[in-house]
Chain A
Amino acid sequence: MTETPLTPRERRLVVKLRKLEALLHEPIQTIEAIRKGEVDAFVVGETEADEQVYVLKSADRLYQLIVESMGEGALTVSHDGAITYCNPQFVRLVGVDRSELLGRPLREFLTPRSRALLDSLLTSPEPSNRIEVELETKGGVVPANVISALIDDGDGSLCLIVHDLRNQRAREDLLVAKEAAEQANRSKDDFLAMVSHELRSPITVILGWTRMLQMNRLDRDTRKLAVESIQQSTSRLLKLVDDILDVSRLSDGRLTLQREVLDLRDCVRASVESVRFDVDQKSLHVDVRVPDEPVPVFGDPDRVQQIVVNLLVNAVKFTPAQGRVDVVIEAHDRVAQITVRDTGEGIAPEFLPFVFERFRQDFSSTTRAHRGLGLGLAIVRQLLEAHGGSVSAHSEGKGKGATFIVTLPLTSQQVAHVSAHDEEPLPSLDGRRVLLVDDEVDTVDVMRTILCSAGASVETATSAAQALEHAADFDPHVIVCDIAMPGEDGFQFLSRLSEHTATRTVPVLAITGKSSTAERDAILAAGFQSYLRKPIEPDELIRAIHGFAREE
């Protein structure tokens, strides 16, 4: 290829062109890069002073995507707390359209309690912060963690990440509930094991002695001992069942008190009498000091006596032989106070706060040297609370005895006449005809023996139908009828009985194994004259029959 040499003018032009090309190289490259989308920010500004970087909107797209799709609520607020941006998750959380959220103060979506927290966050913004708030959402109050970051644009706006705490709370609640359930289950297992043990020991005694009695090889004295022992074990069993029922009733508030004005002195004397046997067995000295004047309180006599008995039983249980128990009643201004002090084992200081809790016994030192379910004192406290009273326990420590102080409000009312029928000799039932109805032959046998011993003539029936026949022939003065019988029960029997003129006026006593007041009300409403609760006390049965036969 031949080249014509360039003229000097042409050469100058070429150099000029090359320079121009070099100058244009950068703008051309820039335009190319922009076209290909390889740049996303520019330096703008006319002078060095106002130069700044302009970032293309699309450059934030990646972050926008992350923020818009993340599972946490995210928003920005201006220095005065107005929402300037929020992501879909925050919209979902609050349950209000985004268009309605933007521009609104964030505090409107917080509970009043949380607003102060937000305010302090806005007034003294720190680079980053974390607060726990409650969101007021369409679906109710939502607890949330809010992490804030100050946006460095100089006007104090904040970026907030909102973390819904509901799942976490639910998990925590579940964990607590699980823990409680497990604890309850453990307590229940311990309790059942203890109940089983407590039931088995008296039953063993009863079974053992009964077998011996059956063999009929015991001498007179041993027989007496056997019978006493059986009696004691039976009352122990009964006490256990009563205690368990009481605790259950007290804890769900089903216990109803039959309150009347009573003299606390009588209650205490009767209570001391009822523990006499155990006191004598351990050769304890019991000293009772009561005021000369009556100490009137408004309470359920049985329950007040139960309070004192439980405290006495406790004192007797933990006091060694030849020990001493003091019972003192004092009447202060408006409060009656019973103090039961013993010279027994005392209570370890660390156990003192728990003595009135259910199923608690101090196992630390004695490894259950004492029987019982640990219900007695719990019942005492709950019964006293039901009576508007209180109980406290005091002890100088192990081996130093214990003192229990009971208070009950005094009443200004006079003590009603207390019937002293316990002192009366048992009445005779001579010439009284009694019809016994119970499907359990054993129960019928016992009751017949009791009534016959008092002189009554007795006819028995083991079903309602049989009883109806006898009622016509035998013409009883009183009918004693079990409520729970297979086939026709006591209620049906009573209504059949009243269909016949001959038997309509015969008083009928109900016998029930249930102890609820609802059952009692149902019995009296059905037209039974009265009712007796199992187990039946012989004296009680005789007096009841006598009362109704006498009214004839």
Chain B
Amino acid sequence: MAAKKTRTRPASSKTKTARRSGHKPDLWNLRLYVAGTTPKSVAAVSNLRRFCEEHLAGRYTIEVIDLLENPKLARGDQIVAIPTLVRKLPAPMRKIIGDLSDRERVIVGMDLRLG
């Protein structure tokens, strides 16, 4: 897992370090699997970004993995359909399959307690 090829996504390394040093319990570590720039992949990236900015501002990191570049990376999280979002942290691991266009489903799937 450690050697994953990623495309960098927001939450710059600076904020990442800040979060870690703060040892906040609810740091969200998200991983999005895409296939190049297929329409659903592109949609998923932008939907996720918007969602996180709205509900998890300052508390998240996103890692985007392009399976077209390296299909073998699908094995670890047992990805079948693309795009798929994996919540690595907070545990337990959760998966949402699809382009994340249905906001309600994302909230439920991520087990996000609002408020």
Can you list, as one digit per residue, whether each of A52-73 has a CB less than 8 Å from chain B (1) or not (0)?
A: 1101100111100000000000
Q: B80 — which chain A residues lie within 8 A by C-beta?
A: 30, 42-43
Distance (Å) between the CB of B78 and the closest chain A CB?
8
Structural contact, A51 and B74, CB atoms closer than 8 A? yes
Q: When the two chains form their complex, are residues A39 and B98 in contact, meaning their CB atoms are under 8 A apart? A: yes
Query: Is A26 in contact with B97, judged by CB distance below 8 angstroms?
Result: yes
Q: Give the contacting residue for B101; candidates A38, A43, A55; CB below 8 A.
A: A38
State whether the Cβ of A180 lies closer than 8 Å to any Cβ in chain B.
no
Q: Tell me whether B10 is interfacial, beta carbon within 8 Å.
A: no
Say whether A34 contacts B81, CB under 8 Å: yes
For A13-49 the 0/1 string (1 means CB < 8 A from B) is 0000000000000100110111010111111010010
Partner of A38, one of B36, B40, B72: B40
A41 and B97 in contact, given A48-B72, A53-B82, A59-B40 (Cβ under 8 angstroms): no
Q: How large is the interface on B (under 10, 10 to 19, 20 to 34, 35 or more residues)?
A: 20 to 34
Q: What's the Cα separation between A61 and B39 when bound, in Å? A: 9
Range class of the A interface residue count: 20 to 34
Task: Tell yes or no: B58 within 8 A of A by CB.
Answer: no
For B35, B36, B72, which residue has the most chain A Cβ atoms within 10 angstroms? Answer: B35
Interface residue from B72, B82, B109 paired with A41 (Cβ < 8 Å): B82
| CA gap between A42 and B84 in the complex, in Å | 10
Enumerate chain A residues within 8 angstroms of B71, measured Cβ to Cβ: 43, 45, 51-53
Contact A39 B74 (CB under 8 A): no
Cβ-neighbour of B83 out of A34, A39, A51, A52 (below 8 A): A39
Which residues from chain A contact B102 at a C-beta distance below 8 Å? 36, 38
- Find out whether the CB atom of A29 lies under 8 angstroms from the CB atom of B38: no
User: Is there contact, CB below 8 Å, between B98 and A38?
Assistant: yes
Residues of A within 8 A of B101 (CB): 38
CA distance A42 to B38 in the complex (A): 12
Residue ranges of A at the interface with B (Cβ–Cβ < 8 Å): 26, 29-30, 32-34, 36, 38-43, 45, 48, 51-53, 55-56, 59-62
- A-B residue pairs, 7 tightest by C-beta: A38-B98, A41-B35, A33-B98, A41-B82, A59-B38, A43-B74, A40-B40
Can you give 29 A-B contacts (C-beta < 8 A)?
A: A29-B95, A29-B97, A33-B97, A36-B102, A38-B97, A38-B99, A39-B40, A39-B83, A39-B99, A40-B35, A40-B41, A41-B38, A41-B40, A41-B41, A41-B67, A42-B82, A48-B75, A51-B71, A51-B72, A52-B71, A53-B35, A53-B67, A53-B71, A55-B36, A55-B38, A56-B38, A59-B35, A59-B39, A61-B39
Binding site for A on B (CB under 8 A): 35-36, 38-41, 67-68, 71-72, 74-75, 79-84, 95-102, 109
